[in-house]
A and B are shown apart, each in its own frame.
Chain A
Amino acid sequence: MLTVSHFSKSYSGGKRAVDDLSFTAPRGTITGFIGHNGAGKSTTLRCAAGILDFSEGEIRIGGHDVRTEPVAAKSITAFLPDNPDLYDFMTGIQYLNFIADIYSIPSAERTRRVEKYAGAFDILSVLGSQIGSYSHGMKQKLALVSALIREPQLLMLDELFVGLDPQASHVMKGFLREVCDRGGSVLFSTHILEVAQKLCDRIVIIRGGQLVEEGFTAEVVGNSDLESVFLELAEEGGGDA
Chain B
Amino acid sequence: MRKFLALTRVNFRAMLAALSVGRTKKGTLSSAVILLVFGALALYLSGTYSFLFGAGLSELGLAEFLLPLMAMIGVLAGLLFTFAAAGNILYGGRDADLILSLPVSAFSVMLSKMLSLYLENLVFVGLWLIPAGAAHMTFGSGVSAWGCVRLAVHILFSPLLSALLGALAGWLSALASFRMRRKALWMNLAYLVFFGAIFTGSLYINNLPAALLENEAAVRLALNTWLLPFGLMMRSGAGALLAFIAVCLVPFLAVSWLLCRRYKAILSGLTARTLRKDFRLTRLSARSSFLALYRKEAGRYFGSPIYVFNTLFGGILAVGASVAAVVMRGEIAAMLPLLGGLDAMLPAGAFGGAAVLATICTTAVSVSMEGKTLWILKSSPLPPRVLFGAKAAFNLTLSLPCAVVCAGLLSFAVGLAPAAAVCIALFWCSVCCFVAVGGLWVNLFFPKLDCPNDTLIVKQSMSAFLGIFGGMLAVGAAYLPYWAGIALNTPLYCLALTVLFGAAALLLWLMLLRAGSRRFTSLI
Residues of A within 8 A of B (CB): 46, 49-53, 70-75, 77, 79, 81, 84-87, 89-90, 92-94, 96-98, 100-108, 110-111, 114-115, 118, 124-129, 133-135
Contacts and interface: CB of A to CB of B under 8 A. Distances in A.
A108 B281 CA distance: 12
Interface in B260-309: 273-279, 281-289, 291-293, 295-296, 299-300, 303-304
Interface in B343-393: 371-373, 375-376, 378-383
Contacts of A98: 292, 295-296
Contacts of A72: 381
Interface residues of B, number: 40
A85 B375 contact: yes
Contacts of B299: 87, 89-90, 94
B378 A85 contact: no
B510 interface: no
Q: A-B pairs with the 4 shortest C-beta distances?
A: A101-B292, A128-B279, A74-B381, A85-B372
A93 B279 CA distance: 9
Interface in B237-276: 273-276
A89 B302 CA distance: 10
A72 B274 CA distance: 40
Given A74-B381, A98-B292, A134-B273, A124 B287 contact: no
A101 B375 contact: no
B207 interface: no
Interface string B470-508: 000000000000000000000000000000000000000
Given A50-B378, A133-B274, A101 B283 contact: no
Contact of A134 (B275, B382, B524): B275
B523 to A, nearest CB: 9
A87 B286 contact: no
Nearest to A71: B381
A107 B286 contact: yes
A81 B281 contact: no
Interface of B: 273-279, 281-289, 291-293, 295-296, 299-300, 303-304, 371-373, 375-376, 378-383, 518, 521-522, 524
A75 B273 contact: no
A89 to B, nearest CB: 4
B283 A107 contact: yes
Contacts of B283: 107-108, 111
Given A89-B300, A89-B303, A101 B291 contact: yes
Nearest to A49: B379
Given A86-B376, A133-B275, A124 B292 contact: no
Contacts of A127: 279, 281
A124 B284 contact: no
B378 A102 contact: no
A71 B383 contact: yes
B276 A111 contact: no
A101 B288 contact: yes
Contact of A107 (B273, B284, B293, B381): B284
A152 to B, nearest CB: 11
A86 B375 CA distance: 9
A100 B371 CA distance: 22
Contacts of A128: 276, 278-279
A50 B521 contact: yes
Contacts of A71: 381-383
A54 B524 CA distance: 12
